[in-house]
Every structure is written in structure tokens, then in C-alpha cells.
């Protein structure tokens, strides 16, 4: 097998991915049918457009979401790959089927604010789960990828402009108060999607420049239980060579790391930054 060829996905892993996408699509369907639609609240993107058209045309959401996503999924097949297209189609069809089966289930709440918050959380969790496992429920970003090759905007800017149009349209159709609730739903959902995709365990990466790097490395390893990586650097002003310690810790271990550094070398230069996710090696989210 050459390096350009992809290994065939194992059956167990494939089944697991599709089960998780089914769960994600089901969460999104529950959010839409039991929280958002009964309270005239929408989301952004293709889901938002479909929900507005539900109010205008009375056509079923389960049909509209498939119709609007089909051209983007076809483009995704050509631009991103077959697996992505099939996974996304499965997720969209699952969303459509589950949503259609919830029509006769009563709404969970008639309070718009509660529907906005919990509907946004459920929708974000569902969409994020699908994305994390290789699919998509909304073709907006695929459209953005295709169009940004021809227009002077990034994908993020395109999605933002599209959503401004969608929420303005919602203001005229549903009322401006409902449009504001919809913007809040979109914000909550997007933050939840980020949390699901990036992982719930927040980790921090620290770079430490110190003349006591051996003692610091030993202390971090034995007192904090974290492996360290030594990088070689050169000072830009004096040109002296120094070892730089790189270590990844959980957010709960940051205080202890700072304590170790201040005890051994109060003058050490330390930079701490956010990381999206830590995997592999011997990294575990243990608290010492």
C-alpha cells in the first residue's frame, strides 16, 4: 500500500461512527421539533432556512432539510471525499426521519428563553457529535468552501454574512423578538459544537525557558506526573543557546505548575496557551 492510499476503515470503527452520528442527528431532531419549532425559534445555516420555509410554506422540515443539503453534499463528494458525503447523507436522512417521528410529541417548554437555551445546547451537541465523527448536518460551510475560491471572503466570513441575512429574514417572518432568540440559539449551539469537536477536557501547553531546566524537568515529571519535551532554542539578543521545556497539563494543574516553577526558578520565562485537545503518548487527564 502506498502512502497516498487510505487504509480501509475497520468494520467496528465504522459501525461506531454511524451509531454516534445517529445519536447526534437524533439530538438535533429533538431540539428542532420539541424546543425550537414550537417556540418559533430558528438556527442559522441550512437548518435556519429550512425552518423559516416551514413557517412560510407549511412544507415538512424533514423534506426541506434533505432538498437543501443535496447539492452541497454532492459538491462535498467531489471536493472533500466519498466518506464525508456518505456520512453526511446518512446523518441528514437520520435527522429527517427522527424529526418526522416527533410531530405528535408535545413540546418540552413554551417558554422562549428556556427553549432557546436548551434547544441550542441540544442542537449544538447533536451537530457537534455528527461533525466529530466525520459527517455534517448543514451544507453551509461546504458552500462557503466552494464560493471562497471565487469571492474575496473566508469561509467564516461567508457563513457570518449568510447568517446575518437569515436572521434578518427571520425578523420579518417571525418577528424581531424571535429573531433575537434565534441569534442566541445560534450562539449557544456554536459554542457547544466547539466544545464537542475540540473535546471537553481543556488542556494547556506551557513553554518554559530557564537556566534550571534539568531541575524543573525532574520536578514536573515527579511532582506533577507529566512528561516533558526539551526543545533547543537560541536567544535573539545574546545569541546564547538554551533548552526550552514544553509540557501539556490540564487546567486544574496550572496552579501547581506555576508553584513548581516559582519555587525552582522565579525568573523563568513561561508562556501558557490553550490547546484544543491532547491525545496519544502517555497523556492522561489525571489530577495529582
What mean pLDDT value characterizes the chain? 82
- Residue 4 is predicted with a pLDDT of 46
Closest CA to 253 of 215, 210, 284: 284
pLDDT tier at 84 (50, 70, 90 boundaries)? confident
Is 150 strand, coil or helix?
coil
What is the 8-class DSSP label of residue 205? Answer: E
Give the C-alpha separation, 158 to 148, whole Å: 8
Query: 263-276 burial string, b = 16+ CB within 10 Å, else e?
Result: ebbeebeeeeeeee
- Residue 126 is predicted with a pLDDT of 92
> Where do the CATH 3.30.70.120 domains begin and end in the chain?
203-274
Q: Does residue 178 contact residue 112 with C-beta atoms inside 8 Å?
A: yes
- The residue count for the chain: 288
- Residue 2 is predicted with a pLDDT of 44
Assign a CATH topology to domain 203-274.
Alpha-Beta Plaits (3.30.70)
Q: Which three cell numbers stand for residue 131?
A: 461533525
Instruction: Pick left, alpha or beta for residue 81 (phi over 0 → left; psi -120 to 50 → alpha; otherwise beta).
Output: left
Closest CA to 24 of 108, 119, 114, 124: 124
- Residue 119 is predicted with a pLDDT of 93
- Angle at which helices 61-79 and 140-147 pack, to 10 degrees? 40
- Residue 153 is predicted with a pLDDT of 64
pLDDT tier at 3 (50, 70, 90 boundaries)? very low
What is the 8-class DSSP label of residue 231? Answer: E
- Residue 246 is predicted with a pLDDT of 92
Give the C-alpha separation, 133 to 113, whole Å: 30
Cβ neighbours of residue 250 closer than 8 Å, sequence gap 6 or more = 201, 202, 203, 204, 285, 287
Mean pLDDT of 44-55: 88
DSSP assignment of 243-268: EEEEEEEEGGGHHHHHHHHHHH-TT-
Is 46 strand, coil or helix?
helix
Closest CA to 41 of 60, 54, 23: 54
Closest CA to 30 of 117, 111, 100: 100
- Residue 62 is predicted with a pLDDT of 87
Say yes or no to pLDDT of 138 above 50: yes
Secondary structure of the chain: what % helix, strand, coil (to 5)?
A: 60, 10, 30
Q: Which of 61-75, 79-93, 270-284 has the lowest mean pLDDT?
A: 270-284
Model pLDDT for residues 252-269, shown as the tens digit of each residue? 788 888 888 888 988 888
Amino acid at each position: 500500500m502506498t502512502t497516498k492510499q487510505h487504509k480501509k476503515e475497520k468494520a467496528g470503527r465504522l459501525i461506531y461512527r454511524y451509531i454516534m452520528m445517529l445519536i447526534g442527528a437524533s439530538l438535533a431532531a429533538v431540539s428542532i421539533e420539541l424546543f425550537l419549532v414550537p417556540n418559533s425559534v430558528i438556527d442559522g445555516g441550512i437548518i435556519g432556512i429550512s425552518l423559516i420555509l416551514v413557517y412560510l410554506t407549511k412544507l415538512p422540515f424533514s423534506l426541506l432539510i434533505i432538498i437543501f443539503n443535496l447539492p452541497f453534499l454532492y459538491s462535498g463528494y467531489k471536493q472533500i471525499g466519498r466518506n464525508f458525503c456518505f456520512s453526511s447523507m446518512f446523518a441528514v436522512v437520520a435527522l429527517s426521519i427522527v424529526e418526522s417521528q416527533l410531530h405528535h410529541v408535545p413540546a418540552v417548554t413554551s417558554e422562549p428563553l428556556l427553549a432557546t437555551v436548551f434547544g441550542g445546547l441540544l442542537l449544538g451537541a447533536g451537530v457537534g457529535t455528527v461533525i466529530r465523527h466525520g459527517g455534517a448536518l448543514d451544507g453551509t460551510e461546504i458552500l462557503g468552501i466552494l464560493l471562497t475560491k471565487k469571492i474575496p471572503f473566508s469561509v467564516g466570513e461567508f457563513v457570518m454574512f449568510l447568517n446575518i441575512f437569515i436572521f434578518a429574514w427571520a425578523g420579518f417572518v417571525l418577528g424581531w423578538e424571535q429573531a433575537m432568540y434565534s441569534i442566541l440559539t445560534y450562539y449557544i449551539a456554536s459554542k457547544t459544537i466547539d466544545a464537542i469537536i475540540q473535546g471537553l477536557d481543556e488542556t494547556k501547553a506551557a513553554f518554559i525557558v530557564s537556566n534550571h531546566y534539568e531541575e524543573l524537568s525532574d520536578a514536573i515529571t515527579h511532582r506533577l506526573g507529566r512528561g516533558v519535551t526539551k526543545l533547543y532554542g537560541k536567544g535573539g539578543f545574546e545569541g546564547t543557546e538554551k533548552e526550552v521545556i514544553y509540557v501539556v497539563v490540564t487546567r486544574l494543574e496550572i496552579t501547581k505548575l506555576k508553584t513548581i516553577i516559582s519555587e525552582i526558578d522565579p525568573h523563568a520565562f513561561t508562556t501558557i496557551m490553550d490547546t484544543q485537545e491532547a491525545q496519544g503518548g502517555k497523556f492522561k487527564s489525571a489530577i495529582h
